[in-house]
Structure 1
């Protein structure tokens, strides 16, 4: 089993989403002792936002790359290959201003590669990256619940992964973290029960 852990919170040791990704990873590796784990911290080691060079790197044949694109290509390919190699991807996704952190969005932008993770046909888009499991460690300062029109965080992740052909997206959620330590601990305790069922 190949597990990819992605963390994106910029709050360091105070991050509840990092706490959740750690608990999820502990659970998964206890159930799968031989699992190979790769971790990527998008806060301490961010993936740059797309620009003309990085956009070109994974979308054109390597033998056509100009010098700047050739330099960018290895890291662009490494991010994509990490994702494609994983059976399970654990994503720490706090809600920042009703959506995901920009560093997480920059990582997601590396995964949507025409002809590799999706393609268009006469019947519309077709995802090519199915057969993997996504577990989202979702944290929110307030209380939003399911299908809230202010949620562009979990809904974005589900829509994006669905576009890539991945319909196995599970959400482990802690809300009300802005309400203080007691609310956080209550939320984490409930999340632990969900994690135990993964």
Structure 2
């Protein structure tokens, strides 16, 4: 299997407080490889090396049929094509996506804008006006794991701040639009408090990551055998 690890945090591990999401993605991948050491892992660090944002030229190129594109159009889409290729090849996407001002980091939004591509990850057919869109990544068995962190607490469903959590739901909806509907999420909270509650949240998230990696790795075995 192919794992695509995406880190979107602007923080690097060397910072005094470091990046919670980077540590969680590293933990998940390490745990996964303990069970499946021969699987391939591709690292994509959009936090430190963000994709270029969508421009007018990008849009013009993306919505031009491949056989009609000029050379500059292929150049404009080169980075996007590489990101799409990685996503299509991935069986498991493990993304570290911290909450920035109630939403995803701009770096991760730029990544999403580059991989949501007509003709590559979703289809559009004007002949079907009632349902013109199709999910080109559906039926591939892809799984998406979002590992997050939040400064405050109570952002999970039913929590005191769930109504302003625009991270997991937005990411789930975008990937679901492409056909990736097997979705899992775990997050650390209380980061701004830095007290015992943060320590407890980190410990709980680490335990949940271990359990999830173990379970998904076990579930992957019969799929391969089949």
TM-score by length of 1: 0.92
- 1:58, 1:77 within 8 Å by CA — same for their partners in 2? no
The residue aligned with 1:37 is 41
More divergent stretch after superposition (9-18 vs 87-96): 9-18
Q: Deviations over 1:127-169 (max 9, x none)?
A: 2213200000011111112161101111101111111111101
1-structure distance, mates of 2:30, 2:164? 32
User: How many positions carry a matched residue from both structures?
Assistant: 198
Query: CA contact under 8 A between 1:17 and 1:94: conserved in structure 2?
Result: yes
Q: CA deviation at 1:53?
A: 2.1
Which deviations, in whole Å up to 9, do the C-alpha atoms of 1:22-70 show, x marking residues without a partner?
1111111112111101001112211011002223444434443334323
Root-mean-square deviation over aligned CA pairs: 1.7
1:123 to partner: Cα distance? 4.2
Larger Rg, first or second structure (1 or 2): 2
Give structure 1 stretches of 5+ with no counterpart: none
The answer to whether the 8 Å contact 1:136/1:170 transfers is yes
Per the alignment, residue 89 of structure 1 pairs with 93
Runs of 4+ in 1 over 4 A off after TM superposition: none
Corresponding position of 1:73: 77
- SS of structure 2 residue aligned to 1:162: helix
1:190: Cα distance to partner? 0.6
1:181–1:38 CA distance, 2 compared to 1 (3 A)? farther
Unaligned runs of 5+ in 2: 213-226
- Normalising by structure 2, report the TM-score: 0.81
